[in-house]
Structure 1
Amino acid sequence: MTDSNKQKIVESVPQRGFFGHPKGLFTLFFTEFWERFSYYGMKAILVYYMYYELSRGGLGMEESTALAIMSIYGSLVYMSGVIGGWLADRIFGASKAVFYGGIFIMLGHIALAIPGSIFLFFVSMVLIVLGTGLLKPNVSSVVGELYSEHDQRRDAGFSLFYMAINLGSFIAPLIVGTTGLNYNFHLGFGIAAVGMFLGLIIFTCTRKNLGLAGTFVPSPLSPAERKKVFLIIGIGAVLLAVVVAITIPLGLLTFDSLIVTVGILGMLIPTIYFIVMFRSPRTTSVERSRLMAYIPLFIAAVMFWAIQEQGSTILANYADKRTQLDFAGIHISPAWFQSLNPLFIITFAPVFAWVWMKLDKRQPTIPKKFAMGLLFAGLSFLVILLPAYVGGEDSLVNPLWLVLSYFIVVLGELCLSPVGLSATTKLAPSAFSAQTMSLWFLSNAAAQAINAQIVKFYSPATEMAYFGVIGGVAILLSIVLFSFSSKIQGYMKGIQ
């Protein structure tokens, strides 16, 4: 997108109207709130739905398989952002991508809400993966378009936007989780569908607040290119259907082979993306330098998300199987622990936003903030291994240990995630603005693809080694990143 178009967008958006931020932030705040409510409500009960017995309303899968599928699901959700970013950059713009994505997500939750076979489960996976790929990277990209490149409110604006994500994520496990585990899984999934429907209504009714944000197509296809792309997509879809139809009966396409395939794609796709953007003639020399700075940040993000995302897999299982759920006179639903992460973010995101604004130009550089995030992530895993060390692998663990682990990783998340969103919009080549945001979410996809390979090594007998090794690697990487932070900052060419 040209600088003149960026300026036109900023001028079209009312710059005051939502806590001192552009008025369009209101629209994106509440659209994202309801989308995250639907997604994290579903996510809070999905792993239990997979491995609970049929008599308890579940699908009766083995725990290790359910944990791996959960990671694969998460990886594909973020991997699909590549498609959503490309469609926004080349065909219909970010605003339409958000709207279409919300429709797919709602239909996916409706499929889960219908009692039936495992077939509907996989149908819902496809719909939610495609919908989130369209919506998630593009709604964040539109947030970036509300601000000029040097607007000091940008980081604080992303922190407020990040709070919307976590408000929805906090409420959802309490409502959907309680309904799904105490009454009926399908009723819980139905509530998630209603949440996405409300998000679509808000986005449609208040879209005028966005001005021109999300309406420009940064690098549109020519009519001839568009015809060629649609032909390739059609042929690819047919070939994929044929391959699936052949390999499943032959036993070649199994959960294990799918896990390996997604693991490879999780690392291969971002690598290809970096190469394509770096070598593109539409990328300037300054933008190439900024991409070089982005690579170590991306690697750090992968390590961070590999730990943080296990809150909905390994730690969810830990809450269900290893935690004392009768505490202080109440019975705790294991799904409620999924509300801890967003609760702490809601509480401390304004504090971090205030600190960054107060420090202004004296705040830590982007690489140093990433290093701080990794340090806290590593410590969160070292904390959770202590109960097994003290009480053994057979005893039930005080739930406060889980609370502490979630709290520590949140401190890291507030150092890394909203800052990473903001840094991505700053460091992105102009011709790949939405696609670079997709690349940021690929760090999460790569992390969960890795998690799908390693969750099989977790058990109560191995949990000390499991948490210790992963936590130790994160702390070591944070030290390395901090040591090279000045050099990385130099490659950013003036971006702070």
Structure 2
Amino acid sequence: MLENKKNVDTAFLGQPRGLSTLFFTEMWERFSYYGMRAILLFYMYYAVSKGGLGFDQGTAASIMSIYGSLVYMSSVVGGWLSDRVWGSRRTVFIGGVFIMFGHIALSVPFGAPALFVSIALIVIGTGLLKPNVSEMVGGLYSSTDKRRDAGFSMFVFGINLGAAVAPWAVPFAANGFGFHAFGNEMNFHVGFSLAAIGMFLGLIQYYFGGKKYLSKESLYPQDPIEKENMRPIIIWTTVGVVALLVIIALLGVTGNLNVSNIIWIITIIAIALPIFYFVMMLSSKKVTKIEHSRVWAYVPLFIAAAIFWAIEESGSVVLALFAANRTVLHIGGWHFAAANFQTLNPLFIMILTPFFVWLWSNWRNQPSAPGKFSVGLMFAGASYLFMALPGIINGTAGRVSPWWLIGSWFIVEIAEMLISPIGLSVTTKLAPKAFQSQMMSMWFLADAAGQAVNAQIVKFYSANTEVSYFLIIGLVSVAFGILLLFLVKPIHRLMDGVD
């Protein structure tokens, strides 16, 4: 490893120089991804005369949600390919290339076909890149290197920095860089081009920086698959693809091949996958009695995480629609775009993280993981209950203060601090030894399942249903949080010694 050199590598702010390469790779990847997502919803439902595709608003919102679900499902495949076939460094580069071409597809005016090609490319690329960059960060340090936690903190800061800047830069480009160069319509393709350029810059510095500063171990798979083991994988993959193609063909023959039904198929897959993983682990002879108990403890935490992600990930869907249709887009004399609100998620994470790091480091009798999940779900639900208030107070016909959205985002990011990092930690602790990688996949699948459910329920959001939509989902989250609070002790017993 790099740090085993005679002189410890401290070239990047006291950290290994390789951290700089991975910091900027992920920063640019998040810039491109969140920049694209900041304007994609509007691109889909804006009228063609305004530069959009003219989709129905409900369909556009559903596509946005299932898109996010696909990204997290593909991460499972990306992690496997890195561990067994390509190695992390090559997998990340291939993923970045797919992502760049995905943004390029959106940057050309070829309508809906280009949109769906772009979604496929970016889903594949993000699945290859995202889970493996983090793995390489860990590879920069030995298990005893005290700089590891600080290094990961800097890496996460890079993620959020890219995600915070993009919702300002990309919409600014789509609006003609402040010069109203495109008349009354938006040129979304210019914004998507900026996202493509961001990924290109990330790839360039990753390629050259990786050669110099990343360990050679990252070029090779950690657990290379034997040739004889490839046959069943190829067979089952082929069976799965053929089955999917048959279903699509049947939909086409019966006249039911449409976006809504495709989204339904993906939703079913996103929910079925974690069920399959749970059944596989709970029925495996490789799982000990104690590990079996811990997997059962993880089930309610998984459900809680899925509910949380359904609400948290709605920022680029339901809250984006609220920003565009129901929010006054200025504070005093300062005017901004609806897409700019997407910066609130990473901004509040950067603000809240130091406080929660300090809190968990100094709170001696802090709640267990299930207890934190319980409170986190209540906060997530409260963020939606908060969003119901402007409709209750003022009705849903006019526009309301942007402070409602800002407040809701702040509340849900408190929930994220209680669930996301805690969930990552407890997932590793509860994982059976024989299924450690698969258990980490479960954390990604919780997000995928939450967004897949979102893809079905966002269709019901409109100005007429606004209050009931926020109230029902908010109350469900709060109710499950309260239920989880009563289950903390039983879950903790099932965790069998894991805090």
Q: TM-score higher than 0.5 here?
A: yes
Determine which of 294, 298, 310 is the counterpart of 2:298. Answer: 294
After TM superposition, the structure 1 = structure 2 runs for residues 214-363 of structure 1, keeping only pairs within 5 Å, are 214=218, 217-230=221-234, 233=237, 237=241, 240=244, 244=248, 247-248=251-252, 250-359=254-363, 362-363=365-366
| Greater Cα shift, 434-443 or 15-24 | 15-24
What is the one-letter code of the residue matched to 1:266? A
- Bigger RCO of structures 1 and 2 (CA < 8 A, at least 6 apart): 1
* 2:453 pairs with one of 450, 454, 464: 450
- 1:45-79 residue CA offsets vs partner (Å, 9 max, x unmatched): 00000000111111011111111111111111111
Give how far 1:277 is off: 3.4
Gap regions ≥5 residues in structure 1: 1-7
How far does residue 362 in structure 1 lie from its aligned partner after superposition?
4.8
Alpha-carbon contact 1:166-1:345 (below 8 Å) kept: yes
Match for residue 111 of structure 2? Answer: 117
Which region of structure 1 is more displaced relative to structure 2, 448-457 or 346-355?
346-355
Distance 1:425 1:110, change over 3 A: farther
- Note the C-alpha offset of 1:346: 1.7
Give the Å deviation of 1:253.
1.8
Q: Is the 8 A contact 1:84 1:137 kept in 2?
A: yes
Choose the corresponding residue for 2:475, options 457, 472, 477: 472
Return 386-395 or 197-206, whichever deviates more.
Answer: 197-206
Kept in 2, the 8 Å contact 1:141–1:434? The answer is no
CA distance in 2, matches of 1:281, 1:106: 43
How far residue 157 of structure 1 moved from its aligned partner, in angstroms, is 5.4
Q: Give deviations 1:266-310, integer Å, cap 9, x for gaps.
A: 211011122223444554555444433322221111011111111
Structure 1 range deviating more: 400-409 or 79-88? 79-88
In structure 2, what is the Cα distance between the partners aligned to 1:12 and 1:418?
Answer: 32
Structure 2 unaligned blocks of 5 or more? 177-185
Q: 1:162 corresponds to which residue?
A: 156
Q: What is the percent sequence identity of the aligned residues?
A: 50
Residue of structure 2 in register with 1:36 after alignment: 30
Alpha-carbon distance in 1 for matches of 2:276, 2:113: 33
Matched, 1:172 2:175: no
Once the two structures are superposed, the pairs formed by residues 79-228 of structure 1 within 5 Å of their partners are 79-144=73-138, 158-182=152-176, 183-207=186-210, 209-211=213-215, 214=218, 217-228=221-232
Q: Deviations over 1:324-361 (max 9, x none)?
A: 124311322000011111111122222322333344x6
Question: How far did residue 251 of structure 1 move?
Answer: 2.2
1:367 correspondence with 2:370: yes
Cross-structure match for 2:62: 68
Q: Distance in 2 between matches of 1:218 and 1:328?
A: 56
* Partners of 1:142 and 1:213 within 8 A in 2: no
Q: Provide the TM-score with structure 2 as the length reference.
A: 0.88
- 2:427–2:440: 8 Å Cα contact kept in structure 1? yes
CA shift, 1:238, in A, is 6.4
Question: What displacement does 1:311 show?
Answer: 0.9
Amino acid at match of 1:52: Y
Go from structure 1 to structure 2 and tell me whether the alpha carbon gap of 1:286 and 1:97 turns closer, same or farther (over 3 Å shift). Answer: farther
Shifted more, 464-473 versus 324-333: the winner is: 324-333
Asked if structure 2 preserves the Cα contact closer than 8 Å seen for 1:158 and 1:421, the reply is: no
Cα RMSD after superposing both structures: 3.0
Q: CA deviation at 1:423?
A: 3.2
Tell me the SS of whatever aligns to 2:87.
Answer: helix
Structure 2 residue 420 is the aligned partner of structure 1 residue 417: yes
Of 304-313 and 419-428, the range deviating more from structure 2: 419-428
Normalised to the residue count of structure 1, the TM-score between the two structures is: 0.88
Of 151-160 and 117-126, more deviation after overlay is shown by 151-160
